[in-house]
Amino acid sequence: MTLSSVRQLVVPNWPVLLIFVLLALAPVWSMYGGSDFTIRLLTRALILALAAVGLNFVLGFGGLVSLMHASFFGVGAYTVAILAHHDFNGDTLFGLPGTSNLLVSGPAAVFLALVFAVATGALVLRTKGAYFIMMTLALNQMLFFFMIALQQYGGEDGMQIYLPLHLSGYEFGSDSAIYYTVLIVLAFFVFLLSRLVCSRFGNVIRASSENEERLTAIGISPFHYKLVAFTISGAVTAVAGVLWAISQEYVSPADLSWIRSADLVVIAVLGGLVRVWGPLVGALVFVLAEYFLSDITVYWQLVFGLGIIAVVVLFPGGMLSVWATIRKINWGRAHDA
Amino acid sequence: MTTGLFVEQSLNGLQLGVMLFLVTAGLTLVFGIMDFINLAHGSLFMFGAFLAATFVKITGIFWLALILAVLATGLIGFVMEFLVLRRFYHRSHLDQVLLTFGFILVFNDITRIIWGSIPLPMPLPEILSMPVQIMPGVMYPSFRIAILVLGLIVALCLFLIIERTRLGMWIRAGASDRQMTSALGVNVGLVFTLVFAAGAALAALAGIMSGPISAVQIGMGEPILILALVVTVIGGIGSVKGALIAAIMIGMVDTFGRVMFPPAISSILIYLLMVLILAFRPRGLFPANV
């Protein structure tokens, strides 16, 4: 793959602009004929999309199959929820007062995610392949069981956020306001990561997934680059967790279980891995499939699981080759070759 | 901590360790020989428990149900490996993760369709339902002792097969260098199918053993899968000896951690142990392919 073709792949082009324009119009459409539920469903899809955009930065471009991104998501969501909880109770946490102001708790959440990502990344990035996957899975469950054990924050039942979260006084009055906030944040990070992927830093990350020895030979230490990428990736997913806390006003350990991590991997794969905005498509497919399948049958996970197995068995090249295969089908037109 | 409590907790820890070893033995060899990640291993654990509960209901004989459930799950493992998994040994780890994650979703819902969402009871034979006195003033459930003894016997047999027989030698050779082993005339594919089916059967046995202690319910295999991964990583991928030592270690640390520390610390204790060990031994305690 040459550099210019890579640039073509990652720079936002007309399909992604079209998707964003359509998404921006969705609340208008739901006002006439749709429902608030549509907006909440789309909000959910966009938040999962952002979480998977974060994951895809290391999965799609760095080749790192992380099964611990739900834990970054959880760090983001729980930080906001816990600070709001202490604000509601009027007590302190390690001597500091709680807050419902997202201008404080948001950055705090991202900071904690950065610390957590550096600490865990420094450990897991020393390992490769199967080891890496198992270690990330184990670390994800470490945080999961830790949150279950913390009874003061709801334990297994999770915790409700009672005070309205606000941006220094501005409250999200409606579902649409939250929706647009999520959409703007998502667009911002898609743009930011697209620039980053095309940068010299991005080149090193992509190269590290292909041949680490060669990188080392030309004097670049892949480990440090991968650690920075892993940290950025975790922080972006944590931002999605913050948005999750805002939109759901509720967090629970289920939000950071390893199943959620695997869901994010599925979303990134559905999105084709090679585009920064790919997970947006993946998340829309995922959430809509979940919604419609669960409407048809209570055993929707069976259908979904079979779907995943069928795709992996039938299309060895991943979802990308599904698109390629579909494009190759002649759609009934006469073949003149 | 009194001596009585100490003895009781040691037995509990040893029992958890033995059960973990049975789950991990298959998993670590599958990783070691074929470099294949099987997230669905916990589902086989779950199948074992559900099948045993059902067979007890049908036959009324606990030991017969146990054998039937272990064989049936071994067969499920064989079919899985033969039909699908063997196509994935040369595929990327990402594909393997997706495939076996798909299997988990499918297996969970199949279980829900067949057995419903309510946890099943696991009836015990008469002689195992009475507590026994293991030392003055300390009563201990007899089925837990039976589980421990059975687990230790199976673990010992497995260990002897792996370390002392020709088949075991092929398996160890396959785990440390698959290509060289097949070049020397060992049918690694066949050996691997057997290992996978045996691993499934052992996971089922562990599932049956945990049935009377925790409930027989959907998703019961997932926490065990995570613990088995921790054991695999600590013991060194592909090493049965490492798995045995790491499993007992995790069983003990987890059990005593829950007695001695507040939940917030005990819940993460084994992961901290894993981190600590890997900091000094990045490839686990006994890596198979050096």
> What is the rounded average pLDDT for all residues in chain B?
87
CA–CA dist B169, A96 (Å, integer): 60
Residues B74-113 have pLDDT tens digits of: 999 999 999 989 888 888 889 999 999 999 999 999 999 9
Chain A residues whose CB is inside 8 A of the B101 CB are 262, 265-266, 305, 308
Question: Do B226 and A138 make contact, defined as CB atoms within 8 angstroms?
Answer: yes
Chain B residues whose CB is inside 8 A of the A150 CB are 263-264
By C-alpha distance, which of A144, A169, A93 is closest to A251? A144
Nearest CB to A133; choose among B97, B103, B279: B97
**Helix, strand, coil % (nearest 5) of chain B?**
75, 5, 20
By C-alpha distance, which of B39, B12, B69, B80 is closest to B221? B39
Question: Do A130 and B35 make contact, defined as CB atoms within 8 angstroms?
Answer: yes
- Would you tell me which residues 239-278 of chain B have a C-beta closer than 8 angstroms to some C-beta of chain A? 263-264, 266-268, 271, 274-275, 278
What sign does the dihedral A130-A134-A140-A143 (CA atoms) show?
negative
Chain A residues whose CB is inside 8 A of the B87 CB are 313
Please provide residue A116's backbone torsions phi and psi, each rounded to the nearest 5 degrees: -60, -40
* Per-residue pLDDT at A168 exceeds 60: yes
Weakest mean pLDDT among A48-52, A307-311, A327-331, B221-225:
A327-331
By C-alpha distance, which of B12, B15, B11, B22 is closest to B228? B22
A126 Cα to chain B: minimum distance (Å) = 8
Can you spell out the DSSP letters for A135-147? HHHHHHHHHHHHH
- Would you tell me which residues 130-149 of chain A have a C-beta closer than 8 angstroms to some C-beta of chain B? 130-131, 133-135, 137-139, 141-142, 145-146, 148-149
| pLDDT at residue A5 in the model | 53
DSSP state of B87: G
Residue of B nearest to A121 (CA): B275
CA–CA dist A311, A285 (Å, integer): 14
Collapsed DSSP state (helix, strand, coil) of residue A291: helix
Residue of A nearest to B100 (CA): A309
* Per-residue pLDDT at A334 exceeds 50: no
CA of residue B114 relative to chain centroid, distance: 24
Give yes or no for a contact between A137 and A67, defined as CB atoms under 8 angstroms apart. Answer: yes
Size of interface A-B (CB pairs under 8 A): 117
Q: Does residue B204 sit at the A interface (CB-CB below 8 Å)?
A: no
Chain B residues whose CB is inside 8 A of the A149 CB are 263-264, 266-267
Residues A16-47 have pLDDT tens digits of: 788 888 888 887 777 776 677 888 889 999 99
Tokens encoding B2: 């009194």
Residues A113-147 have pLDDT tens digits of: 999 999 999 988 988 888 889 889 989 999 999 99
Nearest CB to A123; choose among B99, B267, B275: B275
Can you spell out the DSSP letters for A66-129? -S-HHHHHHHHHHHHHHHHHHHHHT-EETTEE---BHHHHHHHHHHHHHHHHHHHHHHHTTS-H
* Per-residue pLDDT at B139 exceeds 90: no
Nearest CB to B109; choose among A150, A262, A302: A302
- Would you tell me which residues 56-75 of chain A have a C-beta closer than 8 angstroms to some C-beta of chain B? 59, 65, 67
Number of helices (H), then strands (E), in chain A: 14, 6
ipTM: 0.86
| pLDDT at residue A44 in the model | 93
Tell the burial category of B4 from Cβ atoms under 10 Å away from its Cβ (0-12, 13-18, 19+): middle
Instruction: For chain A, give the percent of residues with pLDDT over 70.
Output: 88
Question: Do A134 and B233 make contact, defined as CB atoms within 8 angstroms?
Answer: yes
- Name residues whose C-beta falls within 8 Å of residue A131's C-beta, 6 or more positions apart in sequence: B233, B237, B283
**Backbone angle region of A43, left / alpha / beta, with phi > 0 → left and psi within -120 to 50 → alpha:** alpha
Residues A255-284 have pLDDT tens digits of: 999 999 999 999 998 887 888 888 998 899
Chain A interface disruption, residue of B29, B36, B95, most A CBs within 10 A: B95
By C-alpha distance, which of A184, A173, A174 is closest to A23? A184
Strand pairing class (A96-97; A92-93): antiparallel
By C-alpha distance, which of A76, A65, A70 is closest to A125? A65
| pLDDT at residue A82 in the model | 92
Please provide residue B140's backbone torsions phi and psi, each rounded to the nearest 5 degrees: -140, 135
* Per-residue pLDDT at A335 exceeds 50: no
CA of residue B269 relative to chain centroid, distance: 20
Residues A155-165 have pLDDT tens digits of: 888 898 888 88
Tokens encoding A137: 């899975």
| pLDDT at residue A175 in the model | 82
All structural domains of chain B with their residue ranges: 3-280
CA distances from B86 to A283, B47, B79, B190 (A): 30, 21, 10, 11
Chain A interface disruption, residue of B20, B27, B39, B101, most A CBs within 10 A: B101
For the entire predicted model, the pTM comes to 0.88
Residue of B nearest to A66 (CA): B94
Higher pLDDT, B191 or A69: A69
**Helix, strand, coil % (nearest 5) of chain A?**
75, 5, 20
**Own/partner pairs for A91-96, CB < 8 Å, 24+ apart?**
none
* Per-residue pLDDT at A1 exceeds 60: no
